Amino acid sequence: MIIGRLTGTIAAMGLDHVLIDVNGVGYVCQAGTRLLSRVHAGENAVMHVETKVSEAAITLYAFGTDEERAWFVRLQDVHGVAGKAAMAILDALTPAELMDAIALGDAKVLERAKGVGKKLAERIVLDLSGKAPPMGRFGRPLRGLLILTLDRSIQHCIAAVLRTVPALFDLLLMLLLVFVVFSARRSGARTQDRWLAPHSAAHAFGLVAGDSSSRFPSLETWRTRSMPSCTTPPTPPPLYPTARIR
């Protein structure tokens, strides 16, 4: 008998497992920290279950969605990935993040999972790259079908564009900074020109009194040259001739 789904009440929770009470029958399922953080004891829940049968025991793995369960199965198709490693990867990454990492060839993202090293992460990316995403039960398609079925050349183009995004952002930021500095300087220059324009004209035509720096005569000089000097008035002739005293 293979158990595919359980609907019941969360009776108890542990560090890596959950006990589901279904009509008085308790099922112990292995669960990841992502699922355990979303459920609470005493509440009703629906668990998607993957059953693993071995000579030693029958193990149930519980997931919140059928997509996570399908990726749990797909990851174990890679040599060296067991149930524990697959569960750790799904704890560290969502199915969407996992699909993006595989499509873009980013093995470093998979290294965030506990117990997954560099070689295993590269093997997962190499083995699953270019393959269609896993299907749900009974062939039902899951999300993210398009991105993994793209041609490898298109995937490389997308990866190249995504790698250039930070550089483009830095370039746009630099251009924006240059534009702001140039605009500020231009605005300051216009303000200074408006303030200095009357003074510059006055100096240019020598209209400022005592301006010896101008090449034109000052205002006082123009007045002196253009008007007769009235500083010393002429002495009027005497009305009566004066007699000489001998």
pLDDT in tens, 44-84: 999 999 998 888 888 999 999 889 999 999 999 999 898 88
Q: pTM higher than 0.85 for the full model? A: no
Token pair 């324009």: residue: 197
Return the pLDDT at 171. Answer: 80
**Dihedral sign, Cα of residue 41, residue 43, residue 48, residue 49:** positive
Of residues 8 and 243, more confidently modeled: 8
For range 179-194, the mean pLDDT:
70
Nearest residue to 35 via CA among 11, 61, 5:
61
For range 185-192, the mean pLDDT:
66
Percent above pLDDT 90 for the chain:
27
Percent above pLDDT 70 for the chain:
65
Nearest residue to 145 via CA among 137, 158, 136, 154:
136
pLDDT in tens, 168-177: 777 888 888 8
How far is the C-alpha of 206 from the C-alpha of 78, rounded, in Å?
A: 91
Going by their DSSP bridges, the two strands 58-63 and 44-53 should be labelled as: antiparallel
pLDDT in tens, 112-165: 888 889 999 999 999 998 888 887 776 665 554 444 444 445 655 666 666 676
Average pLDDT, the chain: 77
Amino acid in position 101: A
Rounded to the nearest 5 degrees, what angle is found at the Cα of 110, between the Cα atoms of 108 and 113? 120
Q: How far apart are the first and last CA of the chain?
A: 165
